[in-house]
Amino acid sequence: MASLAVYGSVLSPFVARVLLVCGYKGIDCDLSMPKDGIKSPEFLKLNPFGKIPTIKDGSTVLYESAVIVDYLEAKYKKKKLLPTAAKAMAHTRLIATIAAEYVQPAGLKFFRMKRANQNIPADIDAAKADLEKGLDVLEKLLSGKKYAAGSSVSVADCFVVPALFFAVHASALFGVSDAIGARKKTKAYWAAMHKDKIAGKILQGMADRMKQLLAG
Amino acid sequence: MDVYGMILSPYVARVVLTARYKGIKHKLKMPSGGLKSPEYMALNPLGKIPTIKDGATVLYESSVIVDYLDAKYKKKRIIPASAKEAARARLLATIFAEYVQAPTLALMRQSDPATRDQKVVEEKLAEVKRGLDVVEKMLSGKTWAAGSKFTIADVYAVPCWFFMSALLPNFGMADPTGGRKKLGKYAAKLKKEKLTSTVLAEMAEGMKNFRPGGRS
């Protein structure tokens, strides 16, 4: 069977979600940037919004990371990343959504400000406040067990890991030395995920790429 | 089940549509002490609507709630069983939410022609039109957005259509469908079907009574 084509780059937290799902489910995937760029006519045919990630799985073309994650979970039934019980599933999705909507955007804001060479104190303070708020809610929801939603890996981890990467590393670019701070569950989780074989590899890839980009 | 919120919120409307379609008994109400009261923040630390209380299960974030309801109440599923069909329906829902509704709602702040930023207006209108072009391509052309059955795509499309029809005419789009055929037919359907027309009418009523800043 031909492997799954994933268009994108590992530093995109949206792409990283898909790569983590593939990693944990053991789906063979091939990561590449669209060769003529994301706004090329060829790529716009696959994704009219010209964004990454986009996937091609046989004749199925999809975009929007959350949609892709649910698709892979429904299609590749080995190693489930979502519990079957409605309540447990919802809790897993809630952690993923909080990471995606309230932690990651604040982290990305720092990264974009850095890339654009912006140093507006009010914007920096706003990003810091957003980040604190998102991390507080995440701390409340984390299971305190090995993985975000419990003792086994789930979709929640695939969203939390890239979100925390930006929360920690992009805020550091603006002098935040320890974004996670005294949040115990988050701290233990973050340390553990660096030792996790699959997440650890993605985190390393993201860190390398960020360093490269910022070095010019 | 208690649903906290008001129907004018597009996020709440998604939950109400899901519950009504599936025949889940529920009560819609605003939290008595306001969104930022300690009692309500204990349910939802973000202090937002919707939040649901279904027995001992408390959940927030509309997308999480919609998936929960569909998994728990198995009659009349709104997420198709096949991975590919589910992904199509979810993708269409996401496009309505992120690429049409989001830029449409961003126009709300530009409502006053005296203080309007014409550049922002043009950007947002262009985004809406691009989103609608993709919607037009993806609409099934059958009874409902994703096919002959009501799905999660319709749950997202209805509130999106409400805000399109309420706001876009103020910005020169007298016909918010822009003459797109499948979209025009679909919008007519939403205005005719009992479930969807009722929600649209309730949202219109909510808008009439809405006083920005008049609530806690």
Compute φ and ψ for A118, nearest 5 degrees: -100, 135
Give chain B's count of helices (H) and strands (E): 9, 4
Closest partner residue to B72 (CB to CB) among A86, A102, A140 is: A86
Tokens 């009439």 belong to: B208
Q: Which residues of B touch A74 (CB under 8 A)?
A: 82-83, 86-87
| Residue A147 DSSP code | B
Instruction: Decide if A97 and B64 are in contact by the 8 Å CB cutoff.
Output: yes
β-pair type (A4-7, A29-32): parallel
A173 vs A180: CA distance, rounded Å: 15
- Helical ranges in B83-117 per DSSP H: 83-94, 102-106
Q: Which residues of A touch B42 (CB under 8 A)?
A: none
Nearest CA distance, B62 vs chain A (angstrom) = 10
B29 vs B103: CA distance, rounded Å: 28
Cα B174 to Cα A169, B124, B155, B170: the distances in Å are: 47, 16, 24, 8
* A25-70 confidence digits (pLDDT tens): 999 999 999 999 999 999 999 999 999 999 999 999 999 999 999 9
B183 vs B1: CA distance, rounded Å: 34
Instruction: Decide if A87 and B91 are in contact by the 8 Å CB cutoff.
Output: no
B64 near A CB under 8 A: yes
Q: For an interface test with B, which of A93, A103, A141, A155 has the most B Cβ atoms less than 10 Å from its Cβ?
A: A93
Q: For an interface test with B, which of A18, A65, A71 has the most B Cβ atoms less than 10 Å from its Cβ?
A: A71
Instruction: Decide if A63 and B99 are in contact by the 8 Å CB cutoff.
Output: no
Tokens 């876009």 belong to: B168
What's chain B's average pLDDT?
96
Closest partner residue to A97 (CB to CB) among B61, B83, B84 is: B61
* A180-201 confidence digits (pLDDT tens): 999 999 999 999 999 999 999 9
Please give the residue of chain A at the shortest CA–CA distance from B92. A67
Which residues of chain B carry a pLDDT beneath 70? 211-216
Token pair belonging to A104? 């990651």
A216 pLDDT tier (thresholds 50, 70, 90): confident
Q: Which residues of A touch B45 (CB under 8 A)?
A: 136-137, 140
ipTM beyond cut 0.90? yes
A43 vs A49: CA distance, rounded Å: 9
Yes or no: say if B28 and B16 are a contact pair by the CB < 8 Å rule.
yes
Q: For an interface test with B, which of A57, A64, A95, A103 has the most B Cβ atoms less than 10 Å from its Cβ?
A: A64
Helix-strand-coil percent breakdown of chain B, rounded to 5? 60, 5, 35
Tokens 């126009």 belong to: B107
B23 vs B196: CA distance, rounded Å: 14
- Hey, how many other C-beta atoms are within 10 angstroms of the C-beta on B111? 12
A212 vs A214: CA distance, rounded Å: 6
B36 near A CB under 8 A: no
* A108-159 confidence digits (pLDDT tens): 999 999 999 999 999 999 999 999 999 999 999 999 999 999 999 999 999 9
Hey, what amino acid is at B186? Y
Q: Which residues of A touch B83 (CB under 8 A)?
A: 71, 74-75
Q: Which residues of B touch A60 (CB under 8 A)?
A: 84, 87
A69 vs A100: CA distance, rounded Å: 13
Token pair belonging to B42? 């204990």
Strand partners, A147: A150
Nearest CA distance, A68 vs chain B (angstrom) = 7
B1 vs B54: CA distance, rounded Å: 5
B79 vs B146: CA distance, rounded Å: 10
Token pair belonging to B53? 């209380």
Is A1 a residue whose pLDDT tops 80?
no
Instruction: Decide if B64 and A70 are in contact by the 8 Å CB cutoff.
Output: no
Please give the residue of chain B at the shortest CA–CA distance from A45. B134
Hey, what amino acid is at A121? P
Strand partners, B57: B54
A26 vs A29: CA distance, rounded Å: 9
* A103-117 confidence digits (pLDDT tens): 999 999 999 999 999
Q: For an interface test with B, which of A21, A46, A69, A70 has the most B Cβ atoms less than 10 Å from its Cβ?
A: A70
